[in-house]
Amino acid sequence: MPWSWSRLRRQPAPQPHNHNDSQEEDMQNYLRIASLMVAMTVGALSAAPAVSAEQKWPERPIRMVIPFAAGGGTDVLGRMLAQKMSEGLGQPIVVENKPGAGGSVGTADVAKATPDGYTILLGSSSTHGINPVLYSKLPYDAINDFEPIALIATNKFVMAVPGKFPANNLQEFITLTKADPEKYPYASSGNGTTSHLAGALFVKQSGVPLAHIPYKSNVPGLNDLMAGRVAVMFDNITAMQGQIQAGMVKPIATTGETRSPILPDVPTMKEQGLQDYQIGGWFVLMAPAKTPKAITQRIYEELKKVVSQKDVHDRMVAIGADPQVEGPDDLRKHLATEIPRWKEIVDLAGAKVD
């Protein structure tokens, strides 16, 4: 077709370039890319916090509640472990004594604490074995309110009298006190404690009706024993070792199946005629229920490492504690068997808490 002006007129006129439209399109692309990057960053961060919080633990001091008075056997053991474990965890473990009601006051405090790994309890056979069967109204549930960390050690008890007491063995003590039992009350570290039940079991099996004087903890009871204001006290060897070595109190008998390696010259109750008498205690480490498993496992592993050190092991033995570290699962099994066992002892001794 020959070229003509009419054909040229039919072609659409070229459109001029619009710089504003191009800039707007570039901005929209930029915003889409920026939004995608923000979404990816937020997604990555949101996946980490729960794990990271446990991995960073501990970031501040840890509180160890000891539900008995300072200076007692549980306190001595707890302070030694707190110091050693602090070194490995990289944060101080601060001991707080909260005595009262056979250890129930401090134990209840831990049960209600935030389960973040920054509050732990050094419990015992009193707090998690006896109290659940002795008290009708306990301010905590020994099983459901706690996350078990570890069984620490077991211990034997000793029956001790003032240093100048006239009796030197169990039979002499029974003969003397039977003649006038009202003159010879026994002290304990509080209603419902192992100290109380050990004395009540002795009263039951020996037939000597000694009166019971409960103290807020073993420390004031031990002070009155040394002063001769009470005639006898049953407590763990850990609590009395120093006073025995100083001659301020005199051991009459130990309460285990075999003699204590700390007091090898002191015969057991069984050796001295009370064939069925056997009682002892134990120490545990607990955390509030729902404390993350990763944290309780870390504490258990640190405890196990510390107790395996020769100086710590030897020190525990020297104060009357037999090291026996077991983890959370084994501790659950231990409590499941110990609580019924203590119920039998409570029923046999006829112990009551008013």
**CATH assignment of the domain containing 94:** 3.40.190.150
Number of domains in the chain: 2
The residues, ordered by sequence, that sit 6+ positions from 206 with a Cβ below 8 Å of its Cβ are 174, 274
Residue type, 29: N
CATH code at position 197: 3.40.190.10
Amino acid at 71: G
Residue 8: the pLDDT is 38
* 13 belongs to a structural domain: no
Residues 100 and 81 in one domain: yes
Q: Do 148 and 70 belong together in one domain? A: yes
Domain membership of residue 41 (yes or no) is no
Q: What letters, b where the CB count within 10 A reaches 16 and e where it falls short, cover 150-163?
A: bbbbbbbbbbbbbe
In whole angstroms, what is the distance from residue 141 CA to residue 139 CA? 7
Residue in the structure block whose two tokens are 């025995």: 244
Q: Has residue 235 been placed in a domain?
A: yes
- Measured CA to CA, the distance from residue 32 to residue 36 in angstroms comes to 6
**260 belongs to a structural domain:** no
Q: What does the alpha-carbon distance between residue 32 and residue 154 come to, in Å, rounded to a whole number?
A: 66
Along the 354 residues of the chain, how does pLDDT read in single tens digits?
444 434 434 455 455 555 555 555 656 665 566 565 655 554 555 555 545 567 789 999 999 999 998 988 899 999 999 999 999 999 999 999 999 888 999 999 999 999 999 999 999 999 999 999 988 889 999 999 999 999 999 988 999 999 999 999 999 999 999 999 999 999 998 887 888 899 999 999 999 999 999 998 888 999 999 999 999 999 988 788 889 999 999 999 999 888 988 899 999 999 999 998 988 889 999 999 999 999 999 999 999 999 999 999 999 988 888 899 999 999 999 999 999 989 988 887 777 775
Domain containing residue 221: 156-254
Residue 286 and residue 150 in one domain: yes
**Helices (H) and strands (E) in the chain — how many of each?**
14, 10
Whether pTM > 0.75 for this model: the answer is no
